[in-house]
Amino acid sequence: MPGEVQRGLEDVVALESRICFIDGREGRLLYRGYDIRDLAAHATFEEVAYLLWHGRLPTAAELGELKRQLEALRSVPDELVRELYELPMGANPMDVLRTAVSALAIYEPEQAGPGPSSIGGAQHLTAALPTILGAYHRRRMQLPDLVPRPGLSHAAYLVYALLNREPTELEARAVEVALILHADHDLNASTFAARVTASTLSDLYSAVTSAVGALKGPLHGGANERVVELLEEIGTPEKVEGAVRAKLARHERIMGFGHRVYKVEDPRATILREWSRRLGEAKGNLRYYRLLEKMVEVVHREKGLYPNLDLYSGSVYTLLGVPIDLFTPVFAASRVVGWTAHVLEEYDDLRLIRPVSRYVGPTDLVYAPVGERS
Ligand code: COA
């Protein structure tokens, strides 16, 4: 008989993993044993990708090789680009991304076999997601079509693909840090969705398609979009107090605050706050930073809640010129590394994930032919 129901699988330990450790009481986050603060201060996104996939930091030669591979894997089949151009230009970019990831599998049947060879698919998806997003976004904004631009880091290529311009050094590092901070977070909903799919011995592309669908939901990937919408609505720091108190009085949630796991400040928020300030200073636009600081003060005083990563990521992307509906796709372009690392770990120690439910419906109904039903 099934035991006690844990709604939302809260606090259920579903499996053992060596990828990501979160201590919600101390506000610590580790990737493969390395503190996120250390990685955000010193590592590149490519190094973090290698670390998450392989379980250790790369040597200089291995890192050079990975960078070359990722750059070479940025292209996607012309047929897929044509398919993207056929999609309605008003589509939700997360729907476009989900469709493209799913379609890519059809062009790469050799990557479809689950197992260690899926690392090739992990690298291609990571390299190609900015290309997919850039191809679609440029077409809908009537920007020039995306053409290869060699020599860019993954973060700089993402900015170039989306915005048709190369970032400054500071902008590129700000995006890189944001990508590092979003790369993995244990068994969050989308990663769990990816692992469930992989655990049936389905292929990596199907697992990532499941994950993109799960990330799309506003309870998971979409909070930073709402934060920026709220900031635009509030307008000036003097109006923050009244706006936040009014929302709380109506029992509305303030996006970017609170966390299921962290009971103190999300360590990723601490790091990204600094980048929001640095970028704001460099652009002579501290408006978002000041609004956010006032919000942090009021929400903590009124509700005792701490900010999470989503409070600051939207301000960083907005300062770069990334439109709001691309925030969640940019999240996906980073989390794909975590999803695929988890899929590879699942293949390595596979056990079909199949929980049970507690049935609470009737058990004694008798079938009646359709003509006899009222
Ligand atoms: N704004 C206002 N109140 C909040 C809040 C928020 N962002 N987050 C939690 N609370 C309040 C709840 O209303 C509840 O108050 P009550 O006890 O007076 O009813 C209390 O804090 C506990 O909330 P609960 O939903 O049980 O906490 P949780 O740990 O399950 O929620 C989140 C975690 C992330 C779902 C929640 O904090 C939230 O909705 N945050 C906003 C969305 C967001 O930023 N998501 C990104 C997460 S990285």
DSSP string, 205-232: HHHHHHHHHHHTSTTTT-HHHHHHHHHH
How far apart CA 102 and CA 87 sit, in angstroms, is 14
Tokens of 347: 């293949």
Sheet with 20-23, strands from edge to edge, namely: 20-23, 28-31, 34-35
Give the residue numbers marked as catalytic: 220, 259, 310
Give the pLDDT of residue 1: 63
Residue 256 CA: which ligand 1 atom is closest?
44
Distance (angstroms) between ligand 1 centre and the Cα of 357 equals 26
Residue 122's H or E segment, with its range, is: helix 119-140
Quote the pLDDT of residue 221. Answer: 87
What is the gyration radius of the CA atoms in the chain, in angstroms? 22
For residue 374, the model assigns a pLDDT of: 86
Does ligand 1 lie within 6 Å of residue 310's CB atom? yes
Q: For residue 22, how far is its CA from the centre of ligand 1 (angstroms)?
A: 18
For residue 227, the ligand 1 atom closest to its alpha carbon is: 44
Q: Specify the pLDDT at position 45.
A: 98
Point out the residues of the chain with pLDDT beneath 50.
none
Residue-level pLDDT at 7: 92
What's the rounded Cα separation, in Å, for the pair 361 and 346? 34
> What is the C-alpha to C-alpha distance for residues 72 and 78, in angstroms, rounded to an integer?
15
Q: Are strands 28-31 and 34-35 parallel, antiparallel or unpaired?
A: antiparallel
For residue 276, the CA-to-ligand 1 centroid distance in Å is: 23
Task: Among 29, 191, 260, say which to mutate for ligand 1: greatest number of ligand atoms within 8 Å of CB.
Answer: 260
Whole-angstrom Cα distance, residue 66 to residue 46? 7
Q: How many whole angstroms from 293 Cα to the centroid of ligand 1?
A: 19
The residue nearest atom 41 of ligand 1, judged by CA position, is: 255
Verify whether ligand 1 is closer than 6 Å to residue 308 (CB atom): yes
- Encoded tokens for 317: 């992307």
